[in-house]
Chains A and B, each alone.
Chain A
Amino acid sequence: MTAAKLEPSLQDVYRSLVLDHSRNPRHFGRPEHVTHVADGINPLCGDKLRLYLDIDDDGKIQTSGFEGTGCAISIASASLLTETVIGLPVGDADACYREVTRRLTSGTKEAAARDDLEERLQDVRALDGVRAFPARVKCATLAWRALHAAIQNDRVPATTE
């Protein structure tokens, strides 16, 4: 396969899990019942995502979905996000947001995430390769910023700026 000739870092970004999620995004579309919504906008490339959450009375995310257009990285990230947060208490989902943005933006291994979240975020590690592409980190964090905004019930769109 010719792709093997590519630099490892490029392969790290466009790995099969990312390509799979970008081609077949999970939970694409607006769920039937929605309690929280937020938009994520990346003015640089025009990516636009709308993230939906259905949070029940106990503060647990019953379901999540998203719509929008974007590059493979932003779509895959949104898809992985929905898989991650469905079934989580809101507080844990917000902790996931903090952990993913920390991982992608600083890359340092400061305070390790809680073990249970670490396991929960296993698949999201597929996005770690974008750390080598500063111009693309915003694509990977876009949906997670929207998640945080939705949880905060922000009316303003989350942007990457």
Chain B
Amino acid sequence: MTQATAIRTRTAADWRRDFPALQQMVHGHPLAYLDSAASSQQPDAVIEAVAHYHREDHANVHRGVHTLSHRATEAYEGARDKIRSFINAASRSEIVLTSGTTESINLVAQSYARPRLAPGRKILITHLEHHANIVPWQLACEQTGAELVVAPINDAGEVDLDVLRTLLTDDVVLLAVGHVSNALGTINPVRDIVAMAHDRDIPVLVDGAQGVPHMAVDVRDIGCDFYAFSAHKMFGPTGTGVLYGRESLLDAMPPWQGGGDMILEVRFDGTIYNDLPYKFEAGTPNISGVVGLGAAIDYLLSIGMEAITAHEYALHDYMVARLSEVDGIRLIGTAAAKASVQSFLLNDIHPHDLGTILDHQGVAIRTGHHCAMPVMQRFEIPGTARASVALYNDTDDVDRLVAALRKAQEIFS
């Protein structure tokens, strides 16, 4: 077999073997990991890249003239270039490295929105949002007397675009919307939503934490002004994330935190801030995390985002079909366009009990409110059980989930 053939025939089963954590037994069963929407596992390539960095290259970045500092800086800045290319940003100045989606959104809330907010002005979000795309805006509104407006969703878990359009009024400072809902899996038509908002000259932040792992993201095609995401949901390490921001907007924004690395010159009579993106990166960053993120991007590109999307969509459809066969199941989140996630309730079994019973059969799911309490309030439920698939899952994982649910029904029968 030629090498080219070998590469071409690499399947999802091979991808799964790249992830050491998935090769273990849990409570005597092979692990069926269906909780990637909370945090994804890491392939050997990421684990090794981080370990190599720690073993060979670690020093502080942007500071030293010595060899290791140079290597660390190259690795860190090299990852920034990979990120820029991965989301097709125009310039590396637009890639701000943060601790995660949460910090990215807080940065925009405090540095972009807050100076523009005042009584009578508004931030617009949707009812689908994760707490990380709600609370930073609530804080900025509390600090300024501005109002947080929430666009409603329908029973399927889709944003009502007609209502959203009417809410895009001149007093809205910014629209913040998720790319993919972590609780319900809804894919928002972000390109259309951005166009709608830009018609009214309203900038848009897209929370892409659940978008980037599952589909090719092109920030210039989406047209958004900010795009936030986390490494640990895309097979990279925790504590690392990205804020993409349109250069003209970032340039005009004041720094988010003060410290080393974000300055050109510090004097007691005034400090000159560093250029983009360093103006927003105070202090020694999570260098190894960023190196890991770069390796995760290399890994995703080695498979190809189109292949990942095709595999996951097919698997998600299979999961929805198999779950629908279970008597007494109630699917929460039935949008026409969905990715990865299915939330559900089973009979009157509390999701937390389901989670424990499934865990004992080696099936890992998330249970509870998924950091999206308003979504739960919308459906008048305390929480859900949520299964989410990633590139390394297969139909066997879904079959195991369904079998485990039937066992839970037996226990509670």
Chain A contacts with B in 47-93, Cβ cutoff 8 A: 47-48, 69-73
| Cβ-defined contact, B353 with A73, below 8 A | yes
List residues 111-132 of chain A with CB under 8 A from any CB of chain B: none
Specify which of A1, A14, A46 is in contact with B383 (CB 8 Å cutoff). Answer: A46
* Selected contact of A46 from candidates B356, B376, B411, CB within 8 Å: B376
Q: Which of A1, A10, A70 has most B Cβ within 10 Å?
A: A10
In the complex, which residues 89-111 of chain A have their Cβ closer than 8 Å to any Cβ of chain B? none
Q: Is A19 a contact of B412 with CB atoms below 8 Å?
A: yes
Give 1 or 0 for each of B393-413: 1 = CB within 8 Å of chain A CB.
000000000000001001110
Q: How far is the CB of A75 from chain B (nearest CB, A)?
A: 8
Q: A46-B368, A46-B382, A70-B350 are in contact. Are A3 and B356 (CB under 8 A)?
A: no
Looking at the assembled complex, report how far the CB atom of B16 sits from the nearest CB atom of chain A, in whole angstroms. 26
Q: A6-B411, A14-B411, A69-B382 are in contact. Are A45 and B353 (CB under 8 A)?
A: no
Residues on A with beta carbons closer than 8 Å to the beta carbon of B353 = 14, 71-73
B234 to nearest A CB, angstroms? 25
Chain A residue contacts of B356, Cβ below 8 A:
10, 13, 133, 135-136
Decide yes or no: A7 and B382 within 8 Å by CB, A44-B368, A46-B369 being known contacts.
no
With A2-B407, A46-B373 in contact, do A10 and B357 touch (Cβ < 8 Å)? yes
Does A7 lie within 8 Å of B360, measured CB to CB? yes
Asked whether any CB of chain B lies closer than 8 Å to the CB of A158, the reply is: no
Query: Which residues of chain A have C-beta atoms less than 8 A from B330's C-beta?
Result: none
Which of B27, B28, B352, B407 makes the CB contact (< 8 A) with A45?
B352
A146: interface (CB < 8 Å): no
Which of B373, B376, B411 meets A3, CB within 8 Å? B411
B369 neighbours in A (Cβ, 8 Å):
45-46
Quote the shortest CB–CB distance from B33 to chain A (angstroms): 17
- Please, what's the 1-or-0 string for A1-28, where 1 marks a CB less than 8 Å from any CB in chain B? 1110011011001100001000000000
Question: From residue B405, how far is it (CB to closest CB) to chain A in Å?
Answer: 13
Interface flag for B367 (CB, 8 Å): yes
Which partner residue on chain B sits nearest A72 by CB separation? B353
A143 at the binding interface (Cβ < 8 Å) = no
Docked-complex contact A71 and B352, CB < 8 angstroms: yes
Contact of A139 among B27, B352, B373, B410 (CB under 8 A): B352
Chain B residues, Cβ within 8 Å of A133? 356
Name the distance in Å between A69's Cβ and chain B's nearest Cβ: 5
Q: Which residue of A lies closest to B406 (CB)?
A: A2
Are the C-beta atoms of B407 and A7 separated by less than 8 Å?
no
Best-buried of B28, B353, B357 by chain A (most CB within 10 Å): B353
Asked whether A45 and B410 contact (CB < 8 A) given A6-B360, A10-B360, the answer is no
Q: How far is the CB of B182 from chain A (nearest CB, A)?
A: 16
A1 and B352: CB pair below 8 A?
Answer: no
Q: How far is the CA of A47 from the CA of B352 in the complex (A)?
A: 10
Q: Chain B residues near A47 (CB, 8 Å)?
A: 352, 382
Bound Cα distance from A73 to B411, whole angstroms: 14
- Please, which residues of chain A bring their CB within 8 A of the CB of B27? 7
Q: How many whole Å from B180's CB to the nearest CB in chain A? A: 22
Chain B residues, Cβ within 8 Å of A44 = 368
What is the CA–CA distance of A9 and B356 in the complex, to the nearest angstrom?
A: 11
A157–B357 Cα gap in the complex (Å)?
29
Chain A residues, Cβ within 8 Å of B376: 46
- What are 19 A-B interface contacts by the 8 Å CB criterion? A1-B410, A6-B360, A6-B407, A7-B27, A7-B360, A10-B357, A10-B360, A10-B411, A14-B411, A44-B368, A45-B368, A47-B382, A70-B350, A70-B352, A71-B352, A71-B353, A73-B353, A133-B356, A139-B352
- List 18 additional contacts besides A10-B357, A10-B411, A14-B412; criterion CB under 8 Å: A2-B407, A7-B360, A10-B356, A14-B411, A44-B368, A45-B367, A45-B369, A46-B369, A46-B373, A46-B382, A47-B352, A69-B382, A70-B352, A71-B350, A71-B353, A72-B412, A135-B356, A136-B352
Binding site for A on B (CB under 8 A): 27-28, 349-353, 356-357, 360, 367-369, 373, 376, 382-383, 407, 410-412
